[in-house]
Amino acid sequence: MSLGRSGYRVVIVGAGIIGLYTAHHLARAGAGPILVVDRGFLSTGGSGRNGGGIRQQWETRATIRLAREAVEAYRRFGRDFGHNIWFRQGGYLFLAENPAELARLARVHDVVLSEGLPSRLLTADEVAQRVDGIAEGAAVGGAYLPTDGTIYPFPAVWGLYEAVRDEGVEVALGVEAVGVERDAGRIRGVITSAGTVSATTVVNAAGGWSGDLSRRCGLDVPNVATRHEILATEPMKPFLDPMVVRASDGLYFSQTMRGELVGGLTVPHPPGTQRGVPSSPRFVATMARALVRLLPRLEGLGVLRAWAGFYDDTPDGFPVLGEDPRLPGFVHANGFGGHGFMLAPSASRRVAAAVLGERLDLDPKEFSPARFLGPRPTDRAERLQLG
The string of pLDDT tens digits covering residues 280-290 is 999 999 999 99
pLDDT at residue 183, rounded to an integer: 95
List the CATH code of the domain at 1-87+148-223+314-387: 3.50.50.60
CB 111 within 8 A of CB 105: no
Say if residues 313 and 20 touch (Cβ distance below 8 Å): no
Percent of the chain at pLDDT above 90? 95
Q: How confident is the model at residue 383 (pLDDT cuts 50, 70, 90)?
A: confident
For 291, what's the count of Cα atoms within 13 Å in the CB-facing half-sphere? Answer: 27
Would you state the pLDDT for residue 381?
Answer: 86
Q: How high is the pLDDT of residue 375?
A: 77
φ, ψ at 213 (rounded to 5°): -65, -45
Going by pLDDT thresholds of 50, 70 and 90, the confidence category of residue 377 is low
Distances from the Cα of 161 to the Cα of 67, 75, 212, 292, angstroms: 22, 18, 24, 39
Residue 378 has pLDDT above 60, yes or no: no
Whether 1-87+148-223+314-387 and 88-147+225-312 share one fold: the answer is no
Into which CATH architecture does domain 88-147+225-312 fall? 2-Layer Sandwich (3.30)
Instruction: Give tens-digit pLDDT for 234-249.
Output: 999 999 999 999 999 9
Q: Is the pLDDT of residue 176 over 90?
A: yes
Contacts with 165 (C-beta within 8 Å, 6 or more apart), sequence order: 171
Distance separating alpha carbons of residues 282 and 262, to the nearest angstrom: 17
**pLDDT tens digits along 288-310:** 999 999 999 999 999 999 999 99
Distance CA 307, CA 188 (A): 38
Domain ranges (residues) in the chain: 1-87+148-223+314-387, 88-147+225-312
How high is the pLDDT of residue 387? 65
What is the mean predicted confidence (pLDDT) over 181-196?
Answer: 96
Residues near 305 by beta carbon (within 8 Å), at least 6 away in sequence: 231, 232
Confidence (pLDDT) at 331: 98
With CA atoms as reference, report the closest residue to 49 among 279, 260, 256, 261.
279
Per the prediction, the chain carries an average pLDDT of 96
Distance CA(98)–CA(219), nearest Å, equals 43
Give me the mean pLDDT over the 113-125 stretch. 98
> Residue 276 to residues 44, 177, 387: CA-CA distances in angstroms?
12, 18, 22
Other Cβ atoms closer than 10 A to 137: 8
Q: Is the pLDDT of residue 257 over 90?
A: yes
Under a CB-based contact definition with an 8 Å cutoff, are residues 320 and 373 in contact?
Answer: no
Please state the φ and ψ torsions of residue 216, each to the nearest 5 degrees: -65, -25
